Amino acid sequence: MKETLHIYTRVSSVSQEEEGTSLETQLELGIERSKKLGMKHKTWNEGGQSSSKDDLGNRPVLVNLLKGIDDGDVKHLYVWNTDRLSRNMNTWGMIRFKLIKNEITLHTPTGKQILSDPQTNLMLGIMSEISQYDNKLRTERFRLGRIHRIKQGFWKGGPPPYGYKLIDSSLVPHEEEKKWVSFIYENYKDGKSLDEIRTLLLNNGVVTRRGNPVWSHGSISKLLTNTHYEGFYTYTDKKSNETIRVPCPPIVSPTIILEVKKWRDKRSYGKDDSRRTKTSNEKYNYLLRDFLICGHCGSRFGGNHKKTQTSYYYCSQKQKNFQNTHTEKYTVCESKRNIRIDVTDELVWDTVLDIVSKSHLFMESVKSELVENDKSYGKTKDELKKLQLKVNKIDKEIKDVTDSIINLETIKILGQRDKDEVEKIIKNLEEHRLKLSGKKEKTILSMSEEEKNQKWVDWVKEFGDRIGEMKKSDFKFEEKKKFLEGVVEKIVVKNTDVQEHELKIEFRLPYVGDKLVWNDEEKKSKGYILKNGKRSKVLRVNLLKKSLT
């Protein structure tokens, strides 16, 4: 009975058809070898798979072949080269052990290898090391080549982001998609929720890249944080940890991006100091929910409105833990009880109002801002206009530089100028473009700071002289919340015992117990100084009573 030569074929997933090593060539040489040996043949074709991994998860054909070796069904194995089996040191060691243990005769185009022979085994080991070195060298050349192209402004690989297409390996705005990117940003800026934007996209028949007519919240949210639309993206090389900033054509204006970032900060909901605004599907407003943070686990609080029972605030970690049971996201929180909304709202509002109305620092801020209000407000608006003009000017310069780079690349391809000279000019232009992008980012940051200043002036103008009015019972809920946003940073909640909670109100400025000290009590014309108070006030609250400490 004829013996069988088992022919194993594979090509690299990186280089599918290296000269002389295609799947067809490997099989032909294997069959030719079987004929010379007077054997039957059986083909084990792995196709295009990488051989550099530590395991055989992507090599099902080889796994079955090794099982046949262990079962004694395979005695003669043919490979074009030992690196067809594996280029990984650990994996090749395991395979070689199985071949020696089962006394397999290994065949290659150069002849047969008796692995139990010490000299043959040594030579195979040396060949394996050379193969691994060659593989690592090729991988490194590929990595460095990729980084070089990315630094030149070419796309890093994979599908381009929504709103772009690839032309000559570079990102170019997709005329139809970029319209909907701007649409999403504009609507989010105008206060639309993700759910409302999704509905608008559905009504307009806008489909995702995969042809799905219904956009997920995650897809819209990711799109709103994509830096490509600002005019750049970053690529981090895993081996060197080098992060490269790559310019690309912007789609959305800096002003709109700034507004969207501001809205996202307000709507975010997590363990940091960010706050969430009311979304379209929320039925009730809560005065303090966006300020309350659990002092035990750091999570934000939620609100539960009851029609017939007592409404309460609660640590949102309890709800998350119900979803995350038996997962690594499960967090132990020592918060034992919820906190009544009615008692807590009243206590905190009265306390904040009392502290602020007695604060000399607050009154001094109001006086200063109101006296300079018209000047500072006008100055802020003028400054914002100047900064916007500066951004527009930088955008134009970036476009001019980019156009110049494209023209020079064309000249280089056509051979109209010396290649080295052109590449040197292009390199200088790319460096200049990066500097311009950095300058643009700093300018946008300055715009953000000016907007904050303008917001503070607006807030002081609205509430500075209305302390007396705020003490009335009919003061509007929305205005109460807006006032609190101006003076309170956060409120940390802790359980002190089974029934009682401790509330630590943290103010934005040291309003608590500040003092006005005259330079001369008898001659007040000599002026005064303000001594800062504390930034926090601790309260205690339970189901039946409230107290200050």
Q: What is the pLDDT of residue 99?
A: 84
Whether 192 and 219 share a structural domain: yes
Whether 411 is covered by a domain: the verdict is yes
Whether 324 is covered by a domain: the verdict is no
Whether 313 is covered by a domain: the verdict is no
Residue span of the structural domain in which 257 resides:
152-267
Whether 166 and 123 share a structural domain: no
Of residues 144 and 324, more confidently modeled: 144
Contacts 24+ apart (CB under 8 A), 162-171: 162/208, 162/209, 162/223, 163/228, 163/229, 163/251, 164/228, 164/248, 164/249, 164/251, 171/228, 171/248, 171/249
Number of domains in the chain: 3
Whether 256 and 174 share a structural domain: yes
CATH number of the domain that residue 209 is part of: 3.90.1750.20
The tokens describing 275, both together, are 């706050």
Whether 546 is covered by a domain: the verdict is no
b/e code 205-229 from CB counts within 10 Å (16+ = b):
ebeeeeeeeebeeebbeebbeeebb
Whether 420 and 448 share a structural domain: yes
Residue range 52-105, pLDDT digits in tens: 554 576 788 888 898 899 889 999 999 987 777 776 767 777 788 788 888 888
Q: What is the pLDDT of residue 545?
A: 44
Whether 159 and 141 share a structural domain: no
Q: What is the pLDDT of residue 31?
A: 92
Q: Among 198, 232, 267, give the residue marking a domain's end.
A: 267
Instruction: Work out whether the CA dihedral 45, 48, 50, 51 comes out positive or negative.
Output: positive
Q: Among 399, 427, 458, give the residue marking a domain's end.
A: 458
Q: Among 246, 267, 288, give the residue marking a domain's end.
A: 267
Cβ within 8 Å of residue 356, ≥6 positions away: 362, 467, 487, 511
Whether 115 and 57 share a structural domain: yes
Nearest to 546 by CA among 392, 304, 336, 349: 349
Of residues 137 and 343, more confidently modeled: 343
The tokens describing 454, both together, are 């303008």
Whether 536 is covered by a domain: the verdict is no
The tokens describing 79, both together, are 């490979």
What mean pLDDT value characterizes the chain? 79
Whether 388 and 446 share a structural domain: yes
Q: What is the pLDDT of residue 129?
A: 65
pLDDT at 462 over 50: yes
pLDDT at 16 over 60: no
Whether 76 is covered by a domain: the verdict is yes
Cβ within 8 Å of residue 39, ≥6 positions away: 2, 3, 4, 5, 76
Whether 261 and 204 share a structural domain: yes
The tokens describing 74, both together, are 């395979």
Residue range 408-429, pLDDT digits in tens: 877 777 778 888 888 888 888 8
The tokens describing 309, both together, are 């029972």
CATH number of the domain that residue 83 is part of: 3.40.50.1390
Whether 452 is covered by a domain: the verdict is yes
Whether 171 and 191 share a structural domain: yes
Q: What is the pLDDT of residue 506?
A: 94
Distances (CA, A) of 495 to 250, 288, 339, 535: 50, 17, 10, 21
Of residues 363 and 51, more confidently modeled: 363
Whether 305 is covered by a domain: the verdict is no
Whether 161 and 66 share a structural domain: no
Q: What is the pLDDT of residue 223?
A: 92
Q: What is the pLDDT of residue 158?
A: 87
User: pTM for the complete prediction?
Assistant: 0.43
